[in-house]
Amino acid sequence: MLGAYGQYWRINVLTTLEYRENFILWSLFTFVYHGSAIAALWIILNNFPSMNGWTFRDMAFLYGLWMLAHALHNTLFSNVEGIPERIREGDFDRVLIRPLDALFGVIATPGQFFPDELIMALVYFAAATWYSGIHVGLGFVTIVPLIVAGGALIDLALNLIVATLAFWFVRVDELRWLVLQLEQEFTRYPISIYSRGVSFVLTFVLPFAFMNYFPAAYFLHKGDLALGLPREAGLFAPLIGLVFVVAAYAFWRFGLDRYQGVGH
């Protein structure tokens, strides 16, 4: 399985080199996508010194943590988003007749993938951490990778749940788009600005708050957290990611066992 995965990345890199112009344009889009979000935050907080006690320095770090987790997810698991289309086209059945696990088969379908977003995210995160004045010690360096991995798993779990719905409903692409929109827009600001109901959803139902808000509040020593949770809540991000991904995988297996093809 590891050998197959190595081959998958070899083909990805070769494909990217083949379509160089296209790769440059997509990287440029990624840059504009994150750049405009950060620039908008900067402009807003130029006019207003703070938002619920969070300054631009804090929010730059908040964005960096989300960007890193999201980029890690996009680099490793973006094929999961394509499952609904593959089911619709009948192409999904190909991964079912292979000897390896079906989900692995999906994730390791070669395409034009390259870790450009992850590299951008790492550079931005390093800059934002320095800018926010967080003390970078051994603790920070050990905890951050775990939190980022947890965040990527939260992203993966939600994507997998939406993709699994495609076994029953043919068109779920719009739903996936809506979930992504909720994620990118709601994680941009401290969760404490939202009403109790919305904060509850973002913490326990679609737990985006664990991708960045709670961990950032821990590192930045913020008080008065959303839902009155203790400051250490952010340290549970890896555990929450793991639990959600196991639940999503169980749901995926449940759907897979009942899948009979779309009738091609």
At 198, the amino acid letter reads V
Please give the size of the binding site for another protein, defined by CB under 8 A.
34
x-or-dash string of contact with another protein, 153-192, rule CB under 8 A: ------------------x--xx-xx--xx--xx--x---
Choose the binding region for another protein from 26-34, 76-84, 97-105, 228-236 (rule: CB under 8 A). 26-34
- CB of 122 vs another protein, minimal distance in Å: 22
The number of residues in the chain equals 264
Q: Which of residues 186-245 bind another protein (CB under 8 A)?
A: 186, 189, 193-195, 198
Between 3 and 223, CB nearer to another protein:
223
* Closest alpha carbon to 83 in 183, 202, 170, 211: 170
Q: Which of residues 95-134 bind another protein (CB under 8 A)?
A: none
Per CB under 8 A, the list member of 49, 99, 223, 263 interacting with another protein is 49
CA distance linking residue 175 with residue 26, whole number of Å = 23
Which positions lie near another protein, rule CB under 8 A?
Answer: 21-22, 25-26, 28-29, 32-33, 36, 39-40, 43-44, 46-52, 171, 174-175, 177-178, 181-182, 185-186, 189, 193-195, 198
